[in-house]
Amino acid sequence: MFNLPRFIDLGLCNKVGGGQTNNVYELPEMPGVLIKTVRSDIVDPEGFNKRSKGARRLRRLGIYNGVARELNEFLVQLRRRRVPPFNMPFAQPLGFVQTTEGLGYMVERIDDRDGRMAPTMRDLCRAGSFGALHLKALNEFFDRCKREHLVLGDANSRNIVFTDARIGKPEFVCIDGLGEKSVIPIHALSRYFNDRKIERLRQRLLREAEWARTNPAGQRPRRNGRKIFFALTCAGVLTASTAQPTEKATGIEVSQAPVQDEGFIDMAQDAIDYAVSLIAEPAEPLPVLGPPRLHDVSRPRPLPANLTAV
C-alpha cells in the first residue's frame, strides 16, 4: 500500500514541465499525480516573488497566493456539489507535501490517450493540429465555465490542455490560473461579470487559433501599423499606473508599473494580445475584430465566420 509522503526529495522526481512560475514534477510511485513547486529563482528570502513591490508585499501568502486562489475556487465548486464524484473542467487539487523546493502542490495529471501529458492549446496551435474537434471542445469548456460560474483568473492557451482520455469525450481542462484575480472580486460575486470575462477569453483564444491556422510558422506579415500603435498605446496607458513584473507577449515586451487593480492588467493584456493579433493578421482581415473596448466589453463580438459553426 502506498502511504502519502509528508516530504519529497525532488531529486528523486522527474521534472516534466514548467513555466514562468512553476516547476512541474512527477514521482514514479505516484502515477496520475503532478507535484508543482514555485521556481526558486523567482522567490526572495521572505517568500515573495522578487518582483513584487508595494501593496503586493502585504499579501501574507506571498508566492502561494496563486495556489490559495485555485484552492478557493475548487472549494467553491465542491460546496455546490455534495455528491461525488464529479469531473470538473480543471485539474483537481490533490494535496500538499513539503519538498526540497518548498511547498509541493499535488494535482491531478491530465494525460492524453497514450499516457503522455496532454498538449496545451498553444501546443496544438503551434503544431497546426487545432481543428473542428478542438474548437467544439473549447466552446463546450467555456460554456461549462459560464454555467458553473467558474472563475478563470489566468486562462491563456498555455493553461488549458486537451484530452479525450479523461471523461470519455474530448475536452479542454484548465491546469493553471484558476480563481479570482481581481482585487475587487467582481467575477466571483457576479455571474454577469464572470460571463463577460469568459466571453472575452473565448474570443481571445479563438483569435489565437485562427492566427495559427492562417499563419503557419514563419509567415508573419506586418501590417495595420496604426491599429497596432493604438492597441499598444492603450496597453501603455493602462499599465502606466501599475507595478508588475515584465510581461512578454510573443516578442512584445511591456514593462508594467504599480498595480492598482488587476482588472487593468487584464485589459492591458487584451490590448497587447490584440496588437499581437494584428501583427500576425492574415492578408484577408478577419471580419470582426474591433479594437479592445476599455469601458464597454459587454457587446458580444461575432466570431469569425469560419469559427461560428459549432
Cα separation of 28 and 246, whole Å? 36
Cβ-based nearer residue to ligand ADP, 21 or 214:
21
Count of residues in contact with ligand ADP, rule CB under 6 A: 22
Among 21, 65, 242, 250, binds ligand ADP (CB under 6 A): 21
- Least separation in angstroms between residue 30's CB and Mg ion is 21
Q: Among residues 93 and 236, whose Cβ is nearest to ligand ADP?
A: 93
Q: Cβ-closest residue to Mg ion?
A: 176
Stretch that binds ligand ADP, among 18-26, 254-262, 278-286, 297-305 (CB under 6 A): 18-26
**Per-position x/- string for 43-82, each x denoting binding to ligand ADP as judged by CB under 6 A, each - no binding:** ----------------------------------------
Q: Which residues contact 16 (CB under 8 A, 6 or more apart)?
A: 24, 25, 26, 34, 117
Min dist. Cβ of residue 41 to ligand ADP (A): 12
Cα–Cα distance between 36 and 90 in angstroms, integer?
A: 15
Query: Residues 27, 35, 43, 117: which binds ligand ADP (CB under 6 A)?
Result: 117
Dist. CA 190–CA 196, nearest whole Å: 10
Q: Which lies closer to Mg ion via its Cβ, residue 22 or residue 52?
A: 22
Crossing angle for the helix pair 132-147 and 191-214, to the nearest 10 degrees: 170
206: contact with ligand ADP by CB under 6 A: no
Q: Is 228 strand, coil or helix?
A: helix
Q: Which is nearer to ligand ADP, 19 or 128 (CB)?
A: 19
DSSP state of 199: H
Of the chain, the end-to-end C-alpha distance in Å amounts to: 46
Q: Which three cell numbers stand for residue 114?
A: 497514450
Distance (Å, whole) CA 197 – CA 152: 8
215, 125 in Cβ contact below 8 A? no
Contact status: 32 vs ligand ADP (CB under 6 A): no
36 is a site residue for ligand ADP (CB under 6 A): yes
Q: Is the peptide bond before 85 cis (omega within 30 degrees of 0)?
A: yes
Nearest distance from residue 122's CB to ligand ADP, in Å?
Answer: 8
User: Exactly one of 120, 157, 182, 194 binds ligand ADP (CB under 6 A); which one?
Assistant: 120
Task: Provide the residue count of the chain.
Answer: 310
Q: What is the DSSP string of 13-67?
A: SEEEEE-SSEEEEE-TTSTTEEEEEE-GGGB-TTSSBTT--GGGGG-TTGGGHHH
Among ligand ADP, Mg ion, none, the one that 91 touches (CB under a kind-dependent 5 to 8 A) is ligand ADP
Q: What character string, x for contact with ligand ADP (CB under 6 A) and - otherwise, covers 172-191?
A: ---xx---------------
Q: Which is nearer to ligand ADP, 208 or 281 (CB)?
A: 208
Q: Using CB under 6 A, list all residues that contact ligand ADP.
A: 17-22, 24, 34, 36, 91, 107-110, 117-118, 120, 158-159, 161, 175-176
